[in-house]
């Protein structure tokens, strides 16, 4: 099993650990110390060695930060994690604060009237984060960079992973890395930049066509890199992660260095160096300043290149989705055949689904911990089942299952919400509205140049008409055997990046009724150019192609609420699901799928 | 008639006038002079006296600017006006440049290698406009403020209008002006500002509950004003425009000054003065700087207050729309009864429509020159018929009529596109798609907090599905017996102002096939809070109420392309139109309307 279900509760160790930390602060004459969830790469996942926030506070969420004062401590988390933080942390030690309602800077400013010294590890905070504190703090407060105090007091801190970095084959990437490096070099030279400093393992992985297993569920090796205007890369990585196969793959245009020499190397750079101030640790800024290296803030140039998948990547994704869809259908058929008298719990469902994906023989990992919520649990948008919350599913329940797989040819992410037996009319009505929104995006055509913000309302219109809505974006970008959450594109009120052909994105409207039920329907789709109709305008129009293959639960749909176009779309989709999957299914799943895909 | 149809062609006077201007430039040692279309109030319309750009270039469009060098001259206009400028101007004298493709600053920078002096009238350019030139111009170029050269050489320049400023009665405004002034005063004092300087006659008109007739089609008197944090206003206006009735209306909280003393008065201000840098002339900035008066840039506080119409204004608008709708129906019935054998031209239709509005006995003016385009003329979005373009309408033609009236109780703006006889299927298909978009906005519910940008795509979705779109916003704000184009709200990709209850806005999707036909359907709507359904979320939802009352041409609708909800909306709308209008129509119009509103 890739996923675990340990219940993480209030830590009894926090008391001792925070005592040790304050001892360390006292020795160094420090009034407060910052502990973020991030590592130096600022990604969604961190390795066990970098779980400093969790070690100290017991909070295991994917975002948050703690500030420890001499006599108090605050844990800042967003709305997704408030309840989880309350459950996991000792609130006698850590006061939990909601962001963005509360801000770290206010907390700092309110805490000190006299001169005070706040310490932080410069590798764990971005340039933007520290500059923001600097420009808003009161004058009596000073910031100081230190070696991480947690690393000093954490006796049994895990050693860094030394898993191999491996080549990602051309048959999956579709473009040799030397060509990618050349393109990046040209981008730099066109704007007069000499080098770009890369601190995110997932953009380095894309540029060098490499992958790894240092992080859970995102297949990358932790490393840093630079690429210069001639398209030559310098890769900084633990030598234990490098073997001859990798060396051969990287070739002469990628110079290998021990990750320990990264800082020293940065000092040797000349010309104007590009850094992404939203992603790069503030340590890098300071290293360049001390060495008098000129630099400019600019976004990572790989983000835009990587977002538009090439033909090979899209074909890979199609294959991954056939495989993954078949696994999901095996799973669905098994649990839906089981009724009536069905009695499984959420953890059993997660295990069953993972076993189906594993049985494909090609699963590298799940792409995130499966969200499997039944009844009121499904109304918690980021619900992860554990042994304490685990709920036995019985007739009349609605189950939301949001899951995905990492395959060499593609990353998947799918949500289906299913009825166990017959469910309330309110649930069917809501599910039908969510489905209408999902179909509206799936069937949408729109002019090139628009961003996710411009189309987000299309997914919500049906829900809005009944006074309903959902409090998350409609969709996020997805990588190609990389992160399941990959920018810069998204279907969201907050995203202004124009949608471009080749971008893979999720389409996942939902509806959540607190303490009652939750619904989400999710397919992955990709952007492509429309064929032009006869009377078509003289403009470039885009549309979406659906990747995900698995039926929607027809027992959850009120057919009379769908219009002709929606019914046509749904029947076409189901017919396509059956056509693509039936030949690779077990006999019983095939039989089930045939019934599940029957035209309405 | 309010509207005229003179054909404005290449001016033979430009040659002499530009000679005089260059003489003036030579005397003052100036290398270039800027002539904008704006007056000091930066509104959509200018008085005859302020038509300097048209006097020099013959270009009569509502936006543009000219720069005259010693040996060349450029007229900058946007896409709406390129063809018109080519028709009206002598291209041997003025090279026509498209904005935003070409920019004034590039033109200036490319024109001078040596030291050069560019002159401008500081009352005719906003602070932002001049600051932008300053920050982008080459070092060898200097800007200098001068008295307007055009005013010197324009011998028969009309004198300024001296029409009276008149009170706008409480039964129309719904709120006494002293209360408005107090609210504005509180806004200022809450942010520590002492005064706001107001340069837009239409926001002053709202604040003081006054109107006037200095400008065509926008019922305001030209003036300036300041309001201080105690809610006391100073009004700067030509004393000839003031009579005892106005004095009595304004009362002691509005201090009257001759407009000539405006500059002098500004120098006496203390505290922090608020100015809208997008609207205020740069002259004001310089006056304040010389007098060492502190100031801050902030938007005109009246914009947001005025945008949300109160109950009286909304009720007034309802009455104005019943009256206006009846006039439009009289017009439509007359031209549609006339078929077959119908032979009228566009100018005759404009005159007929104006006569019907005039016959209400309450028309103060039309709210803009009627757009009446038949056949290919309708594909020109900003088409205004003149004696040269005037086209005889015959069977098979499609006619687009976009028009509006100014009444004391409200401003109207309506577009209908009608078939004269039977028209091509392509036209009916396109009209049906446009109608679907208009209905989608009309029937939309959406959460409070969203802006026009967030819902603009809803109006386009049906057109997009067939590869079509339109190149203008979906809707603009509308004033209450004020400008027919009133910010800050709009339904547009470029508008981020949250929609609020009480805002009046147009809903006018269209489709234009160049050289062939044009379609637009426009109703005015206003924002209101939704009643909450049974299963409604715990969030505030908004919806629109339709103001405009006139039938859509059923001969232009392909009923089989409408879904159930759309048909229901259309039938409800038509039933409401008939109910509201039938009692005030002539017998023949009533008979026609009954047939026009028959359920489909």
Chain A CB contacts of B535 under 8 Å are: 426, 429, 466-468
Task: Determine the topology of domain A166-306 in CATH.
Answer: Creatine Amidinohydrolase; Chain A, domain 1 (3.40.350)
SS3 per residue for B520-533 = ECEEEEEEEECCCC
Task: Determine the topology of domain B308-586 in CATH.
Answer: Creatine Amidinohydrolase (3.90.230)
Q: pLDDT-based confidence at A191, cuts 50/70/90?
A: very high
* Cβ–Cβ below 8 Å for A445 and B467: yes
CA B191 to chain centre: 31
Residue A244: its H or E element: helix A244-250
Does residue B453 belong to the interface with chain A, where contact is any CB pair within 8 Å? yes
Average the pLDDT over each of A9-18, A145-154, B49-58 and give the range with the smallest value: A9-18
pLDDT of A9 over the 60 cut: no
Q: What is the mean pLDDT of chain B?
A: 94
Q: Are strands A541-546 and A523-529 parallel, antiparallel or unpaired?
A: antiparallel
* Cβ–Cβ below 8 Å for A535 and B466: yes
Does residue A461 belong to the interface with chain B, where contact is any CB pair within 8 Å? yes
Does residue B472 belong to the interface with chain A, where contact is any CB pair within 8 Å? no
pLDDT of B9 over the 60 cut: no
Do A166-306 and A14-153 have the same topology in CATH? yes
Task: Give percent of chain B with pLDDT exceeding 70.
Answer: 97
Task: Give percent of chain A with pLDDT exceeding 90.
Answer: 86
Buried b (16+ CB within 10 A) or exposed e, A331-342: bbbbbbeeeeeb
Nearest-CA neighbor of A200 among A275, A131, A150? A275
Partner A, chain B 554-573, Cβ-Cβ below 8 Å: 563-564
Does residue B444 belong to the interface with chain A, where contact is any CB pair within 8 Å? yes
* Cβ–Cβ below 8 Å for B537 and A469: yes
pLDDT of residue B336: 82
| Mean pLDDT (whole number) for A444-460 | 96
* A–B interface: beta-carbon pairs under 8 A: 88
pLDDT of A534 over the 80 cut: no
| Mean pLDDT (whole number) for A281-307 | 97
* Cβ–Cβ below 8 Å for B468 and A530: no
pLDDT of residue B486: 95
Q: pLDDT-based confidence at A116, cuts 50/70/90?
A: very high
pLDDT of A341 over the 70 cut: no
Q: CA of A453 to nearest chain B CA: how many angstroms apart?
A: 7
pLDDT of residue B533: 65
pLDDT of residue B34: 97
Alpha-carbon distances, residue B258 vs A586, B46, B118, B234, B267 (angstroms)? 91, 20, 31, 10, 15
Tokens of A143: 């910031």
| Mean pLDDT (whole number) for B572-584 | 98
* Cβ–Cβ below 8 Å for A446 and B457: yes
Contact A271, A194 (CB under 8 A): yes
Q: CA of B447 to nearest chain A CA: how many angstroms apart?
A: 7
* Cβ–Cβ below 8 Å for A535 and B465: no
| Mean pLDDT (whole number) for B210-219 | 93
pLDDT tens per residue across span A351-373: 999 999 999 999 999 999 999 99
pLDDT of B17 over the 60 cut: yes
pLDDT of A99 over the 80 cut: yes
| Mean pLDDT (whole number) for A103-120 | 94
* Cβ–Cβ below 8 Å for A458 and B458: yes
pLDDT of A486 over the 60 cut: yes
pLDDT of residue A479: 97
* Cβ–Cβ below 8 Å for B467 and A493: no
Query: Chain B residue with minimal CA distance to A425?
Result: B535
Model confidence, pTM: 0.91
pLDDT of A490 over the 60 cut: yes
Chain B CB contacts of A518 under 8 Å are: none
pLDDT tens per residue across span A376-435: 999 988 888 989 899 999 888 999 999 999 999 999 999 999 999 889 999 999 999 999
* Cβ–Cβ below 8 Å for A468 and B564: no
Spell out the domain ranges in chain B: 14-153, 166-306, 308-586
| Mean pLDDT (whole number) for A194-214 | 97
pLDDT of residue A80: 80
* Cβ–Cβ below 8 Å for A447 and B461: no
pLDDT tens per residue across span B366-389: 999 999 999 999 998 888 899 989
Contact B578, B333 (CB under 8 A): no
Does residue B4 belong to the interface with chain A, where contact is any CB pair within 8 Å? no
Query: Chain A residue with minimal CA distance to B427?
Result: A535
Contact B379, B512 (CB under 8 A): yes
Average the pLDDT over each of A90-94, A422-426, B534-538, B553-557 and give the range with the smallest value: B534-538
pLDDT tens per residue across span B46-56: 999 999 999 99
Q: pLDDT-based confidence at B8, cuts 50/70/90?
A: low
Chain A CB contacts of B532 under 8 Å are: 467
Local structure of B254: helix, strand or coil: strand
* Cβ–Cβ below 8 Å for B468 and A537: yes
Query: Chain A residue with minimal CA distance to B493?
Result: A454
Q: pLDDT-based confidence at A81, cuts 50/70/90?
A: confident
pLDDT of residue A567: 97
Number of C-beta neighbours around residue A528 at 10 A: 15
Kindly report the CATH number that applies to the domain delimited by A309-596.
Answer: 3.90.230.10
Find the CB nearest B457 among A457, A466, A537: A457
pLDDT of B479 over the 90 cut: yes
Rounded to 5°, angle at Cα A140 from A138 and A144: 95
CB burial of residue B376 (10 Å; 0-12, 13-18, 19+): middle
pLDDT tens per residue across span B374-432: 999 999 888 889 998 999 998 889 999 999 999 999 999 999 999 998 899 999 999 99
Q: CA of A167 to nearest chain B CA: how many angstroms apart?
A: 43
Q: pLDDT-based confidence at B342, cuts 50/70/90?
A: low
User: What gap in Å lies between CA A476 and CA A461, rounded to an integer?
Assistant: 19
> Torsion angle of alpha carbons B43, B45, B48, B54, nearest 10°?
100
User: What gap in Å lies between CA A10 and CA A519, rounded to an integer?
Assistant: 30
Q: Are strands B410-411 and B405-407 parallel, antiparallel or unpaired?
A: antiparallel
Find the CB nearest B464 among A429, A447, A460: A447
Q: CA of B254 to nearest chain A CA: how many angstroms apart?
A: 42
Q: CA of A417 to nearest chain B CA: how many angstroms apart?
A: 20
Identify the CATH assignment for B14-153 out of 3.90.550.10, 3.40.109.10, 3.90.1200.10, 3.40.350.10.
3.40.350.10
Kindly calculate the radius of gyration of chain B based on its CA atoms and give it in whole angstroms: 25
CA B182 to chain centre: 28
Chain A CB contacts of B539 under 8 Å are: 467, 469
Does residue A448 belong to the interface with chain B, where contact is any CB pair within 8 Å? no
pLDDT tens per residue across span A247-267: 999 999 999 999 999 999 999
pLDDT of A541 over the 70 cut: yes
Contact B363, B357 (CB under 8 A): yes
pLDDT of B584 over the 60 cut: yes
């Amino acid at each position: 099993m890739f996923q675990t279900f340990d219940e993480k509760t209030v830590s009894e160790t926090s008391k001792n650990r925070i005592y040790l930390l304050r001892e360390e602060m006292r020795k160094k004459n420090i009034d407060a110390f910052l502990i973020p969830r991030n590592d130096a790469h600022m990604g969604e996942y961190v390795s066990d060695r970098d779980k400093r926030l969790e070690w100290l506070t017991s909070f295991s969420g994917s975002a948050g930060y703690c500030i420890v004062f001499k006599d108090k401590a605050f844990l800042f988390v967003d709305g997704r994690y408030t309840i989880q933080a309350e459950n996991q942390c000792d609130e006698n030690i850590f006061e939990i604060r909601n962001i963005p309602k509360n801000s770290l800077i206010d907390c700092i400013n309110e805490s000190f009237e006299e001169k005070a010294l706040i310490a932080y590890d410069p590798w764990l905070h971005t340039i933007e984060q520290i500059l923001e504190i600097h420009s808003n703090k009161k004058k009596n407060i000073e910031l100081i960079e230190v070696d991480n105090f947690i690393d000093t007091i954490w006796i049994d801190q895990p050693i860094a992973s030394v898993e191999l970095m491996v080549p990602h084959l051309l048959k999956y990437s579709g473009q040799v890395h030397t060509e990618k490096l050349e393109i990046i070099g040209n981008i730099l030279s066109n704007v007069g930049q000499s080098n770009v400093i890369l601190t995110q393992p997932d953009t380095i992985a894309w540029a060098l066509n490499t992958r790894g297993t240092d992080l859970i569920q995102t297949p990358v090796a932790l490393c840093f890199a630079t690429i210069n205007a001639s398209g030559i890369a310098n890769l900084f990585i633990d030598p234990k992660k490098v073997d001859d196969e990798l060396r051969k793959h990287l070739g002469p245009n990628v110079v290998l260095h021990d990750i320990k020499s990264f800082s020293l190397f940065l000092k040797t750079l000349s010309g104007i160096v590009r850094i992404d101030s939203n992603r790069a640790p503030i340590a890098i800024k300071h290293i360049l300043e001390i060495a008098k290296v000129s630099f400019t803030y600019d976004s990572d140039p790989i983000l835009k290149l990587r977002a538009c998948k090439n033909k090979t990547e899209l074909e890979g994704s199609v294959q991954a989705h056939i495989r993954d869809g078949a696994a999901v259908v095996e799973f669905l058929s098994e649990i839906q055949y089981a009724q009536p008298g069905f009695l499984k719990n959420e953890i059993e469902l997660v295990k069953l689904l993972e076993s189906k994906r594993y049985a494909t023989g090609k699963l590298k990992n799940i792409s995130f911990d499966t969200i499997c919520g039944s009844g009121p649990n499904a109304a918690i948008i980021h619900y992860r089942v554990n042994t304490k919350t685990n709920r036995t599913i019985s007739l009349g329940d609605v189950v939301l299952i949001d899951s995905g797989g990492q395959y060499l040819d593609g990353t998947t992410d799918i949500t289906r919400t299913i009825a166990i037996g017959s469910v309330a009319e309110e649930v069917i009505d809501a599910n039908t509205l969510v489905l209408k929104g999902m179909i509206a995006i799936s069937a949408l055509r729109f002019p090139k140049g628009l961003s996710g913000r411009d189309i987000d309302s299309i997914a919500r219109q049906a829900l809005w008409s009944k006074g309903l809505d959902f409090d998350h974006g409609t969709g996020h970008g997805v990588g190609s055997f990389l992160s399941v959450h990959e920018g810069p594109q998204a279907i969201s009120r907050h995203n202004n990046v124009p949608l471009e052909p080749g971008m893979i994105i999720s389409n996942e409207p939902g509806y959540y009724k607190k303490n009652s039920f939750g619904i989400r329907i999710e397919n992955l789709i990709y952007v492509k150019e429309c064929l032009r109709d006869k009377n078509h305008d003289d403009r470039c129009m885009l549309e979406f192609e659906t990747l995900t293959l698995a039926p929607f639960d027809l027992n959850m749909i009120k057919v009379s609420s769908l219009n002709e176009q929606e019914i046509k779309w749904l029947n076409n989709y189901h017919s396509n699901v059956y056509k693509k999957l039936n030949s690779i299914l077990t006999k019983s799943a095939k039989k089930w799928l045939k019934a599940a895909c029957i035209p309405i």
